[in-house]
Amino acid sequence: MNLLPGMAELQPQVSAWRRDIHAHPELGFREVRTSALIQKELRAMGLEVITNFCEADTAVIGVLKGKQPGPVIGLRADIDALPMQDEKDESVPYRSQNPGVCHACGHDSHTAALLGTALWFSQNRDKVRGTVKFVFQPAEEGPAPGGAKKIMESGILSDVNYMLGAHQTTSVPPGVIMTRSGVVTASGDFFDIVIEGTGAHGASPHCGTDVVVAASQTVVALQSIVSRRLDPMQPAVLSVCSMQAGEPGTKNVLPAKATLSGTVRTFDETVREEIFALMEQTVQSVCAIYGCTGTLDRQPMFPSLSNNEEVAQVVLAAAREVVGEQNTFVIPQPSTGSEDFAWYARSIPAAFYMFGARPAEGPVYSGHHPKFDLNEDALPVTMSVMAASAIKLMQQHKEK
């Protein structure tokens, strides 16, 4: 392991930030305490602090200008937690103090590591050619459309030449770095389908229009969009995740309304639009057969995230220097998860990587599990990879 000089020494401070944020998790667009902590620490480092620049008023940007000219590099951390109970053992001192809110996706570690990276750069200002913008972003987990879109729409990052982001994973230990060029995560859309008909007595279905049968046939018909209508070389997921009609347990009333809800994931914007056009056609056609009406409501979340080839190669090169060739992995295929870092990568050459954070002992839980925890030894590793990648991008930009 070749952490950048001085990074290991920052671990106690960065762990303390991580534990403080972990104990006080806040939901998307409501990260008031977290935002205040970030602002206070960035000011203490001597950075310029920008706030209230977009609709997401908990967003914070720290700006560090180098003495030499160069590009503007954006480094991003997401700062929000999830609406779920922290079920870690009560003996864990940094367990969530906010009922029903938990940093179960590790965004506390992303925030602390980015503060640590800012602290390191503030102590190593001579290494900065150009400007580094430390972007602390609310609401990666939603509500839709998430914080990244709001930050991009504000124009505050219009001068940024390259952007980097990272996410922890407990599937591998600290010291492992993984990324790839091209598509990394899927686009994400949610949907609701409301089917309306005429209710009737269960004994006289001919007196109404049965939404239960129409909804059931709609679920079945939707399955053939991916399996029969799309190019088999274009991966996609269409999942109906809930189905609701009638009062539970009712045995003699045919309801007048049914609701289906779910998600669509794709890796290509054309396929994404095609799926929704086919869904609309399917809902209308199936409902017409049963004499019902159907309405499809789409809630777009994130586009697919695609890493810029050049920037991804820089991250891989930096990772090989920090963690070694044997611990640097090119991810073989994209994930059907989604990540709102995609909004930056749509218009800024950007790369997103995963860093290992598996606990040293005890059971391992993945993100979004109520007992989720991570290994803080991962913090100086991702700080080193992010700082080394930024320095390489500054150097490369100069040589162009």
User: Which residues are near Zn ion by CB under 5 A?
Assistant: 105
CB of 367 to Zn ion, least distance (A): 5
Report CA-CA distances (Å) from 317 to 55, 123, 181, 188, 308: 37, 24, 13, 30, 14
Q: How far is the CB of 339 from Zn ion (least distance, A)?
A: 7
Could you tell me which residues come within 8 angstroms of residue 288 by beta carbon, excluding any fewer than 6 positions away?
Answer: none
- When CB distances to Zn ion are compared, the closest residue is 105
Of 151 and 245, CB closest to Zn ion: 151
In the complex, the smallest distance separating the C-beta of residue 108 from Zn ion, rounded to whole angstroms, is 11
Specify the residue, 70 or 142, whose C-beta has the smaller distance to Zn ion: 142
276's CB contacts (< 8 A; 6+ apart) are 189, 191, 264, 296, 298
185 vs 340: CA distance, rounded Å = 10
Q: Which of 78, 80, 274, 376 is catalytic?
A: 80
Which DSSP state fits 160? -
Instruction: Find where tokens 């090169």 sit.
Output: 317
CA distance 138 to 110: 12
Asked about 361 being catalytic, the answer comes back as no
Q: How far is the CB of 268 from Zn ion (least distance, A)?
A: 23
**Any bridge partners for residue 196, and if so which?**
257, 293
Q: Is residue 80 annotated as a catalytic residue, yes or no?
A: yes
For residue 294, give Cα distances in angstroms to 58, 217, 229, 256, 287.
39, 12, 21, 12, 6
Cα pseudo-dihedral 130, 136, 142, 146, rounded to 10: -30
Q: Which is nearer to Zn ion, 86 or 274 (CB)?
A: 86
Q: In the complex, what is the shortest distance from the CB of residue 316 to Zn ion, in angstroms, rounded to a whole number?
A: 22
CA–CA gap between residue 154 and residue 13 (Å, rounded): 32
HSE of 188, CA atoms in CB hemisphere, 13 A: 21
Minimum CB separation from Zn ion for residue 368, in Å?
6
Q: How far is the CB of 157 from Zn ion (least distance, A)?
A: 20
Q: Please, which residue, 103 or 129, has the CB nearer to Zn ion?
A: 103
User: Catalytic one among 140, 141, 210, 274?
Assistant: 140
Query: Would strands 200-201 and 177-179 be described as parallel, antiparallel, or unpaired?
Result: unpaired
Q: Please say which residue, 105 or 348, places its beta carbon nearer to Zn ion.
A: 105
Q: For Zn ion, which is the closer residue by CB, 105 or 378?
A: 105
The nearer residue to Zn ion, 81 or 225, going by C-beta atoms, is: 81
Helix (H) or strand (E) holding 131: strand 129-137
For residue 319, what are the contacts with CB-CB under 8 A and spacing of at least 6? 177, 179, 327, 328, 353, 385
Residue 380 backbone phi and psi in degrees, to 5: -65, -20
| Residues labelled catalytic | 80, 140
